[in-house]
A and B are shown apart, each in its own frame.
Chain A
Amino acid sequence: MRDTNSSTSRRATLIRHISLFVAATTIACNTESLLKVNDPDVARPEALNGVAALPTLRNGAIGNFGVAFDGGVSDVAQVHASALLTDEFINTETFPTRIEIDQRAISLTNTSLANNGTTGGGTYFDINRARASADQAVDAYKQFAVTAGDSTGYPEVLALSGYTYILFAENYCGAVPISRQEADGSFTFGAPETTNTLLDSAISKFNQALAVRSTGTGAPLTATFLNLASVGKGRALLDKGDYAGAAAAVANVPTTFQYNYLHSETSTRQNNGTWALTQSVGRFGEADAEAGIGLRFASDGDLKSATGPHDPRVADSLARRGSGGSAKGFDGATNQMVQAKYPLRSSATTIADGVEARLIQAEAALSTGDAAGALTILNALRSSGVRGYSAASLPPLALQATTAAQVDQLFKERAYWLYLTSHRLGDMRRLIKQYGRAVNSVFPNGAYFKGGTYGTDVNLPVPQQEQNNPNYVAGSCKQNEA
């Protein structure tokens, strides 16, 4: 070692400076402010407390419902899952998770239904988020709304919550839990609920919406929201087999009423998902008597049909994708008849309308044996010019001789009027439950056109992710029970 030979004063000065250095370092390491960070990109929960946040919460509920119903461009939503599992769509692509749905052999790990992704979560995830978002908005209205102006949208979010319960009941397996996050951040996990329980919850939501005017909250129950809740209540009662109650619920809904989810080009999340999955990227085609069982959506709606006028309610045409004018879907092998109901990424989707109200009334009439009355309603609808369809394109229907044929006629009308609005799966299940039809007379079965055979599913399962719910009972979901 070298000889330092330092003077005392120099050493003292050094020690003072080094002490300062140590002190500065210590201060630097102890300063909490050093660890403060800014996060300008997101909203924290506290930003949503208060009356000023109510419009934002309402908008969130609408947007989340739209994505769950048919929106976005990422994966299937309720409309598409229902269409695939039934006879509305065939799969014209390669993604195995969606082929499973079309083939009626859905695994619990199907990532289109639920996945752990950060951007999307799957069909089941999205509908749950729509319900939670609507319920969050409902709670906020209850807590913060004071004036009538504050309460704009309150009955709307109640109704949207009700519709999520309907979709659970119509599309899922009759063992759907409803869970929620409490205000303190804790979780309350739900147990599986039956289809009837879910429908009762839906009816309760609609009743709350319909009662808004009389509860004195000051919320404006506009005609739109009144009709929205009325059609929803009628639909739920119809699902329960209460035809008379259903008809009564929708009696005052005008045929011209429509409540639409407004798609937009503004963001991909707002795009019409049905447009994206069909016209844009060729995932699904309109089915044509799928497996010899289903309705002839594609033939009847063929815009280029040489045999006669097409049915405008299920309009479609053979795909011409790619520079070569390929008529094939995404898989390059399957002819794709592309739906034309939603021709644009901004095409609106109807959640509830007066047409459905009339169809409910027709079914109620038929349930009492009044086939002529039911037919009158159906034909009035066809000639009404609603949705801009000409009477010529929808000529009157003839009275069918048998009850079975009358039911078939009614359900075909429902299928065509309500095409690609997530009604068909519920209707096909009702044909089994309420009308005693055999599964194989309703759902496509036998050899599957992409290889293999159809499975036995008649509903969408509660996916495996739900098994993280300690109150969920594994195995309670019966995929082959209507």
Chain B
Amino acid sequence: MNQDVRRWLRRSLSVGAMLTCIASLARAQEAGTITGRVIDGSTNAPVPSAQVTLVGTTRGVVAGDDGRFRISGVRPGTYQIRALRLGYQASTQNIEVTSGGTADVSFTLAPTAVSLEEVVTTATGERERKREIGSAVSTLQPATEQVAAAQNVSQLLAGKVPGVDVQQAGGTVGTASRVRIRGANSISLTNEPLIVVDGIRFNNNVGNSGTTGSTTIGVGGQVPSRLNDLNPEDIETYEVLKGPAAAAQYGTAAANGVIQITTKRGRSGRPRWTTFVEGGTIRDVTDYPANYLRVANERNANGSRRACTLDSQTRGLCTPNPDSLLIFNPLVANSPFIDGHRGAYGASVSGGTDQVTYYLSGNYDREQGVFEVSQDQRASGRANLSMQLRDNWNVQVGSSYLAGHTRLPQNDNNVLGVVSSGLLGNAFDDPVAHGYLSGQIPQAIYAINTRQDVNRFENTLNTSYQPLSWLTATGVAGLDYLNRYDNEVVPPNQVAFGSLPDGQRTSNPYQIYNYSANATLSAAFSPFSGIKSTTKVSGLFNKELIRGTQAFGAKLLAGTTSLSGTTARFAVSETNTDNKTASKLIREDLAFRDRIFVSGAIRNDKNSAFGQNFGSINYPSATVSWVVNEEPFFPKLNALSSLRLRAATGKSGQKPNFRDAITYYNSQTVTVSGTDAAGIVVGGTGNPNLRPERSRETELGFDAGFFGERIGFEFTHYKKKTDDLLIAVPLPPSLGLTTTQFQNLGTVRNQGNEFVLNAKVLDINPVAFDLTIAGSSNDNKLISLGELSPGVPVPAIIVNTQQQHRVGYPLGGYWQRAITFTDANNDGIIARSEMTLTDTAVYLGNPFPKQQYSISPTLTLLRYFRVSALFDHKGKYKLFNNTRRFRCSFGNCQEAYDPTRPLADQAASIGISLGTDAGYIEDATFTKLRELAFTLTAPDSWTQRFGGRNMSLTVAGNNLHTWTNYTGFDPEINSTPGLNFSTSDFLTLPPTRNWVVRLTTSF
């Protein structure tokens, strides 16, 4: 623990001690008690888990399964008490609490498709109702069947929140998805959202890098997921703050949006146990194409025959040997695929008293992927404790632990990859490799044991203290500690490639610490009748510390699997990075008759990664929310039962990476006079003026309820502009420095619309039918790349051979010389002479969907049987089918030899030789039946016979059918999910089809 941390801890403890002293001054009073029940207005059934709070205080409880609640230790007085639950209209009542007395209150909540009364968490830890917020905040509280179908946090978010694009990437268990909210903002920095769990920052690194990645050992493309370190069973709600308009108060971290996760809390009452057991299948359902080869009659100088493609034939370079068409599919003839499976088991218990509640859980799940060496297993536990220490002081502490073990197969862009080795292999069987390119069967390569072991602790402390009726102090502190161990062993003499027969060991332990600490004072008063003012002052501190060691050795002693067994080519290095942010925040909220809400805030950030010539940055924000239907002048209409107008604007940023602003040298070993000596190589060309990227977003929208709130409709238009882009400006190589230098240049714009339609279409016993339709659009455009010098614009930035950042077009757009062709001689074969290419590269499309829609119907029969589905559509984007392209460049694809193949396929294949991949950049628009779930809930009379409360059986499937014109294996494939923009379908294991059966019991 370094000095800064000790200093921070001392200060935190001092503050805590002061709060304790203050609390001790509170004079004990003879308190009263509030009891009550919350029931469903349409069915008279209890509403479990409803939140019941005393307005304007820190007091609140969660109702039990029977809808009952009890709040004790309440000082005598008159209160407003509010009950709310997702899916119901909130209800507020006045109640009088007398000294030593018990006040009883009952709430009857009406189901609603409108969600104005939901509460969300602010950046500094307070809770506020959605009606008070002028920005769009999506809240997701997944049902059991959704958790079962999705199986991890990334997939839980897929297709469920408008504006959130979860790109699944592949079918390897334990690997990451790419998540984008309202488009990509940054060219050089991460575009992944900030993850906040119970108020503290949660490491969400993705990629293949020591400092910003989720692993340090590459296996070809797929990378482990940090987001999926979270156990979905423990999560109560997901709140998505989609951009700076909503997330400005997160400052230099929130440009990509924020996903706030709240874990489950205990409920007062006797212990309530919930257990589940789940089992299922994971299957590869892809039809892989065979390898093709036709050889020429002519022979090379050494007697071998060369491939004779249609292109070579039309150019007179060869004549095909008529009997030589070979077709062989190694992936079918010697299939490496197995039927994977999933098993998960978990139990949780919650309960407590009016003063103290607890939630404890433990889970274990194990996934066996479709390759023998693809495995992911996780064991986790969580303990959340909520304490009402006094009537005006509550404390919540939480602690979770995860032990994860992931074994990753070689795949994607990897000569040893399973899919790649088969698809690029031979068109004939052979006794050793059985057609696989790598010269050996995949099972031999399985000897490479690439693993990631994770131990992750997350500890949070949230407290709220209300010393005076108008004054509240809140504090949040916590640590997300990730101990990650990337390691790989290649036993000697088992894998025949390069130096691998020597055997080798890589051992990279990493410790990543994310500290968060916030303290806020909030003063509320009413300067005039009907107006409530709340002023908040906060201090915030975040620190991310990475300590990593990379060690490698080769020539491994047979029988050993650690570095101790290596005997040569030792390499060792360290990664130490440290980033700190210190912030001040002041915010003023004004509420007019609880109908009009105006809020303004400004946050000031300093960050250790800013350039030395740059001081601090301010992030202002403002929101307005007007619940217009509650105004006296608004007509009382049944058709339009509620209407809220809202507007928000705000600015947030993104810090440079560690060392982006400084010039530095790395060490290199040099052999001089036969002795190893230390030399230097330039590592970074710094920029002392480096500033954070600044994203300003404005959004306008409305929430409307129709027909007595049976239909809810939310619409939001947003426009986001990111300035001062941190662009890794390619330096002229002639400088002899680094390839790039970060400069604040350029502007990116994202704009679009989002909507959600919730409808309770039918609610007549015994049938209920709910429908949610969500959609969003995103128009991403690079407005400027800035200038190298006056009048000299930064040229287009090359992402890879197919993708570029060009001004006026979406980031990462596909650019290639376009092909046109015609079969002029009608011979059914496209020759080069029948093709025309544009002189220069032209824009062919964007890599990310511009449109997304989802439809989620839920049908409930007899209250006991429920069917739900998720149809997910993504459109208006392209995907580079590099799998097909590479197979054709290898001469492995059918269209290289078969004149019956479509002319466009032939032209695409020839295009490779002409220097363009345009024929393989395909429309990837698709619609998926992403989830389907059947849930059977046992009647209470059944479960009570076993002493239980609830029992349900769910059968759920994921990735069940895809409608698309994309010719690759799956339009969601991405061989580089850890990279910002590079997107291609390149020899990746496609997403698998999964089914699970889950039995959930509570008692």
Contact = CB atoms under 8 A, between A and B. Distances in A.
Interface of A: 1-4, 6, 10-11, 13-14, 17-18, 20-22, 24-26, 28-29, 31, 33-45, 47-48, 55-64, 66, 94, 96, 105, 107, 109, 111, 114-118, 121-122, 124-125, 128-133, 135, 176-181, 185, 187, 189-190, 262-270, 280-281, 288, 321-324, 326, 330-333, 335, 345, 447, 449, 451-452, 463-470, 472
Interface residues of B, number: 129
Interface string B90-128: 000000000000000000000000000000000000000
A286 to B, nearest CB: 13
Given A17-B21, A62-B679, A472 B582 contact: no
Interface string B488-518: 0000000011110000000000000000000
A269 B668 contact: yes
Given A25-B521, A60-B680, A94-B886, 18 more contacts: A13-B22, A18-B467, A22-B521, A28-B8, A37-B658, A47-B665, A57-B679, A59-B680, A111-B798, A124-B733, A132-B736, A180-B736, A262-B674, A264-B676, A265-B569, A331-B890, A451-B311, A451-B913
A13 B578 contact: no
A115 B584 CA distance: 41
B735 interface: yes
A324 B672 contact: no
Given A17-B21, A21-B521, A324-B439, A31 B668 contact: no
B499 A24 contact: no
A202 B312 CA distance: 46
Given A2-B78, A59-B672, A29 B680 contact: no
Contact of A35 (B538, B607, B681, B733): B607
Interface in B711-767: 728-740
Contacts of B789: 470
B432 interface: yes
B56 A1 contact: yes
Contacts of B7: 33-34
A248 B577 CA distance: 55
B739 A267 contact: no
Contact of A466 (B444, B667, B682, B733): B733
B541 interface: yes
A14 B306 contact: no
A270 B678 contact: no
B681 A133 contact: yes
B8 A179 contact: no
Contacts of A463: 733
Contact of B671 (A41, A131, A266, A326): A266
B771 to A, nearest CB: 42
A223 to B, nearest CB: 14
Interface string B326-356: 0000000000000000000000000000000
Contacts of A40: 574, 576
B574 A41 contact: yes
Interface stretch (B11-19, B136-144, B198-206, B282-290): B11-19
Contacts of A1: 56, 77-79, 469
B835 interface: no
B608 interface: yes
Contacts of B685: 181
17 contacts: A1-B79, A2-B77, A18-B521, A25-B538, A28-B539, A39-B577, A41-B575, A44-B662, A59-B670, A59-B672, A59-B680, A60-B668, A96-B801, A116-B740, A449-B300, A468-B730, A468-B731
Contacts of B539: 25-26, 28-29
Contacts of B576: 38-41
A127 to B, nearest CB: 9
B580 A35 contact: yes
Contacts of B678: 56, 59
B579 interface: yes
A4 B736 CA distance: 71
Contact of A322 (B75, B496, B792): B496
Contacts of A269: 668-669
B839 interface: no
Contacts of B950: none
Nearest to B680: A60
Contact of A262 (B438, B671, B679): B671
A141 B75 CA distance: 80
B426 interface: yes
B425 interface: yes
Contacts of A45: 663-665
B695 interface: no
